[in-house]
Structure 1
Amino acid sequence: MVNTDTHTGASFSLKNRLLRVVWGVVYFVFFRFSPRPLHAWRSFLLRCFGAKVGKGVHVYPGVIIWAPWNLILHDHCGIASGVNLYSQGLITVGKKAVISQGSYICTGTHDYTKHGFPLYTMPITIGDNAWVAADAFIHPGVTIHEGCVIGARSVVTKDMPAWSVCAGFPCKVLKDRVLVD
């Protein structure tokens, strides 16, 4: 961050803010209103702005992305319309992971114990084969481990273990996730 006092100035550099303006124009003109099936087109646009995007990624046009250069989207993951990727810090989404509509993935927060409420960011990782169901909120610094399912409308404030089903406010483990064929 370039400023530790959010009352007196911006937390991010001028370069960062200008790049976000350019991204905002590209997002509005070319990304947001692109036809739903054009996942490859949206992946291309994200790559143009520094995102690392794997093969077969499905990012829908209604996804809100703060800074694409802070995204790593692994092969065959899906991000539904209405998801907010508030990527002030790094967001990593694993292979075949799904983030459902209305979820909010938030990497930034403020330190309320200090004058000026300085902004700080912590990365979020969503593991391979994980599913974040509709309207979940993922706090900064959280890891959703491989195969974990986060229930709809959950508020995740700490790491969730692999191959578990978790839900609630605050989110907690409910049971193991067992796959059946």
Structure 2
Amino acid sequence: MHNQDTYTGASFSLRNRLGRIVWGVVYILAFRISPRPLHSWRSFILRCFGAKIGKGVHVYPDAKIWAPWNLELHDECGVANEAILYSQGKITIGYRAIVSQGAHICAGTHDYTKSGHPLVTMPINIGAQAWVAAEAFVHPGVTIGEGCVVGARSVVTKDMPAWMVCAGHPCKPLKPRVMDDNKTPSISIIL
């Protein structure tokens, strides 16, 4: 980090802070007001700010992104409206993973054991086909395994295993996630 004492100065460099100002203006004028279906436009804007964006990514216009240059979004993943990607550190979202409305993915914190409360950033990895449900909070340094489901309003303080349904405060594995890949469409008859 730029400064180890948050009482005497900013945690980030002037370049980083200026980049976030420019990003904030572009976010308001070109990203946030874009129509919901224009996912490729928002992906283009994020790439212009250094994000690594795969094909078919769906980032909705009201998603809040702190620093696009710390994002890696793999093919066909989705970030819903009102999701917060607090990307002070690197955030990676895997293939077909979903971050739902109001989920808060927080890659930075402060070291409260030091008098200057220096900023500490730790990467967050959300595995392929994982789902972080509405209003869940994911702490810095956490890995959410492939196919893992994190229940709504859960608080994830440690790594969650692959292909498990997890929930709670703190979040804990509850049961295996079993996929029903039956391709036969169901037909309902309403009388």
- 1:18 maps to which residue? 18
Query: Within 2, Cα distance between the matches of 1:35 and 1:29?
Result: 12
- 1:80 maps to which residue? 80
Q: Secondary structure at the match of 1:159?
A: coil
Query: Within 1, Cα distance between the matches of 2:54 and 2:114?
Result: 40
TM-score (norm 1): 0.99
- 2:121 maps to which residue? 121
Give RMSD over aligned pairs.
Answer: 0.4
Q: CA deviation at 1:133?
A: 0.3
Query: Within 2, Cα distance between the matches of 1:78 and 1:30?
Result: 19
Query: Within 1, Cα distance between the matches of 2:2 and 2:93?
Result: 27
Q: CA deviation at 1:137?
A: 0.1
- 2:62 maps to which residue? 62
CA deviations over 1:80-114 (Å, ceiling 9, x no partner): 00000000000000000000000000000000010
Query: Within 2, Cα distance between the matches of 1:105 and 1:92?
Result: 10
CA deviations over 1:29-63 (Å, ceiling 9, x no partner): 00011100000000000000000000000000000
Confirm or deny that 1:159 pairs with 2:159: yes
Counting only pairs closer than 5 Å after superposition, residues 73-112 of structure 1 correspond to structure 2 as: 73-112=73-112
Query: Within 1, Cα distance between the matches of 2:2 and 2:151?
Result: 37
TM-score (norm 2): 0.94
Aligned AA (1:74): H
Query: Within 1, Cα distance between the matches of 2:159 and 2:143?
Result: 5
Confirm or deny that 1:3 pairs with 2:3: yes
Query: Within 2, Cα distance between the matches of 1:77 and 1:28?
Result: 23
Query: Within 2, Cα distance between the matches of 1:87 and 1:119?
Result: 13
Unpaired runs of 5+ residues, structure 2, are: 183-191
CA deviations over 1:101-150 (Å, ceiling 9, x no partner): 00000000000010010001000000000000000000000000100000
- 1:71 maps to which residue? 71
Unpaired runs of 5+ residues, structure 1, are: none
Aligned AA (1:178): V
Query: Within 2, Cα distance between the matches of 1:152 and 1:135?
Result: 6
Give 4+ residue runs of structure 1 displaced > 2 Å after superposition. none
- 1:143 maps to which residue? 143
- Percentage of pairs with the same residue: 73
Aligned AA (2:134): A
Larger C-alpha radius of gyration, 1 or 2?
A: 2
